[in-house]
């Protein structure tokens, strides 16, 4: 029997929104947990009108946060993508946007102690095993919400959440270059398969007859493009060590083109069946990393600033995403950082 009411917070993390739950408040069994989450978020109607999901993959997300036994972390975070249409729940991908909200949740719930004017919340990302440090603003002994940090894709400004990832290469695929190559040719199309926190297939927009500046709505309406991208994705899934990806939300399919604002690259990302209004956090880290790989599809497409650490601009449909990359002596990306904002929107009980 599902519990009659489940404590729940709604939190915007970066450009996404999720229902946050304490691990102990959800059923232990995966099948029962997933049934409960689908019931709470709603669907399969486009609006998720009988649930609290927002009718889009970016607003049909779940974070499960728990106490951790891990000495390197304050909390465990499991990300779950609820597909609003298919009513599936997937733990195969991570989500860097919702991760920013984990800092808010952990402090709000007293799971991570405030340690000074700024507080680092250390998060073990259960989807990938990786660790992320979130630098939160806590100037008066409590979490600061207001601030002057703006991120493209979110109205207004808020306090910054600085997210620092260590060793995220091969998060889901086991290797930064899961196929072993910086460049592969599949069905006559040149692609770069990369996983620096998120499995992504990087493709040239021009190879599909596109400028790469089309709006997400135009791209979503292009059935022939979506069919071609899905055929490539299904072919590449096993080669990226992801197995059959028919029901999985990875790999993401990212169409790249020359930057418009002197950035690193312009992007349009299918996640994987709907075009992102911006770009995912770890998706952006993976694409930025791909731009630095000699021989990759996106190499030399835009200008790469010298030195390390460097901040690169990944352009997307609603603006620009700055990614800070640290390189090792071999010029390989070894750590990444991004700035997000996050906000607790609502706390209450969900009625399944
Ligand atoms: O790539 C969307 C988002 C994401 C994931 C997606 C994300 C990330 O914008 O880390 O943030 O690619 O499904 O929330």
Which CATH number covers residue 235?
3.10.310.10
Residue 236: inside a domain: yes
Span 96-145, pLDDT tens digits? 999 999 999 999 999 999 999 999 999 999 999 999 999 999 999 999 99
Mutation choice for ligand 1 from 91, 283, 340, CB with most ligand atoms inside 8 A? 283
Residue 175: inside a domain: no
Considering the domain architecture, whether residues 232 and 288 belong to the same structural domain is answered as yes
Assess whether pLDDT exceeds 70 at residue 2.
no
Considering the domain architecture, whether residues 219 and 147 belong to the same structural domain is answered as no
Considering the domain architecture, whether residues 210 and 103 belong to the same structural domain is answered as no
Span 48-63, pLDDT tens digits? 999 999 999 999 999 9
Q: Which pTM was predicted?
A: 0.93
Residue 303: inside a domain: yes
CA of 112 to the centre of ligand 1 (A): 24
Residue 174: inside a domain: no
Task: Check if 60 has its Cβ closer than 6 Å to any atom of ligand 1.
Answer: no
Considering the domain architecture, whether residues 238 and 346 belong to the same structural domain is answered as no
Residue 172: inside a domain: no
In the chain, pLDDT over 90 holds for what percent of residues? 92
Considering the domain architecture, whether residues 192 and 323 belong to the same structural domain is answered as yes
CA of 252 to the centre of ligand 1 (A): 9
Considering the domain architecture, whether residues 129 and 85 belong to the same structural domain is answered as yes
Span 131-185, pLDDT tens digits? 999 999 999 999 999 999 999 999 999 999 999 998 899 999 999 999 999 999 9
Across the range 287-311, mean pLDDT stands at 92
Task: Check if 16 has its Cβ closer than 6 Å to any atom of ligand 1.
Answer: yes
In the chain, pLDDT over 70 holds for what percent of residues? 99
Considering the domain architecture, whether residues 138 and 27 belong to the same structural domain is answered as yes
Considering the domain architecture, whether residues 226 and 149 belong to the same structural domain is answered as no
Give CA–CA dist 234/214, Å, rounded: 24
Residue 241: inside a domain: yes
Span 192-234, pLDDT tens digits? 999 999 999 999 999 999 999 999 999 999 999 999 999 999 9
At 300, the pLDDT band (50, 70, 90 cuts) reads confident
Task: Check if 198 has its Cβ closer than 6 Å to any atom of ligand 1.
Answer: yes
Considering the domain architecture, whether residues 287 and 188 belong to the same structural domain is answered as yes
Range of the domain at 285: 184-331
Considering the domain architecture, whether residues 263 and 292 belong to the same structural domain is answered as yes
- Nearest-CA residue for atom 7 of ligand 1: 280
Considering the domain architecture, whether residues 320 and 345 belong to the same structural domain is answered as no
Task: Check if 271 has its Cβ closer than 6 Å to any atom of ligand 1.
Answer: yes
Span 12-38, pLDDT tens digits? 999 999 999 999 999 999 999 999 999
Question: What's the domain count of the chain?
Answer: 2
Across the range 291-295, mean pLDDT stands at 94
Residue 177: inside a domain: no
Considering the domain architecture, whether residues 64 and 109 belong to the same structural domain is answered as yes
Residue 1: inside a domain: no
- pLDDT for 262: 85
- Nearest-CA residue for atom 1 of ligand 1: 280
């Amino acid at each position: 029997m599902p519990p009659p009411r489940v404590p729940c917070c709604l939190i915007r993390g970066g450009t996404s929104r999720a229902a946050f739950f304490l691990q102990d408040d959800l059923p232990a069994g995966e099948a029962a947990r997933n049934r409960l989450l689908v019931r709470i978020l709603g669907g399969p109607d486009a609006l998720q009108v009988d649930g609290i999901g927002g009718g889009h993959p970016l607003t049909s997300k779940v974070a499960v946060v728990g106490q951790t036994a891990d000495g390197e972390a304050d909390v465990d975070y499991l990300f779950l993508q609820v597909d609003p249409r298919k009513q599936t729940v997937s733990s195969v991908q991570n989500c860097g946007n919702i991760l920013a909200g984990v800092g808010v949740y952990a402090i709000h719930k007293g799971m991570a102690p405030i340690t000074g004017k700024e507080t680092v919340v250390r998060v073990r990302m259960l989807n990938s095993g990786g660790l992320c440090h979130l630098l939160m603003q806590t100037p008066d002994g409590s979490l600061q919400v207001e601030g002057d940090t703006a991120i493209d894709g979110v109205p207004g400004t808020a306090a910054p959440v600085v997210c620092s990832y260590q060793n995220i290469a091969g998060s889901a695929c086991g290797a930064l270059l899961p196929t072993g190559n910086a460049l592969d040719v599949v069905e006559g199309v040149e692609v770069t398969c990369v996983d620096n926190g998120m499995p992504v297939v990087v493709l040239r927009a021009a190879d599909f007859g596109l400028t790469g500046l089309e709006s997400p709505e135009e791209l979503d309406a292009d059935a022939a493009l979506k069919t071609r991208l899905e055929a490539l994705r299904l072919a590449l899934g096993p080669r990226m060590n992801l197995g059959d990806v028919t029901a999985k939300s990875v790999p993401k399919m990212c169409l790249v083109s020359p930057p418009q604002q002197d950035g690193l690259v312009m992007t349009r990302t299918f996640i994987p069946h709907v075009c992102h209004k911006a770009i995912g956090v770890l998706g952006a880290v993976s694409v930025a990393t791909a731009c630095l790989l000699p021989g990759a599809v996106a190499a030399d497409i835009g200008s790469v600033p010298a030195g390390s650490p460097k901040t690169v601009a990944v352009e997307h449909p609603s603006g620009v995403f700055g990614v800070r990359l640290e390189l090792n002596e071999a010029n390989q990306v070894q750590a990444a950082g991004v700035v997000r904002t996050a906000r607790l929107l609502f706390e209450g009980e969900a009625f399944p």
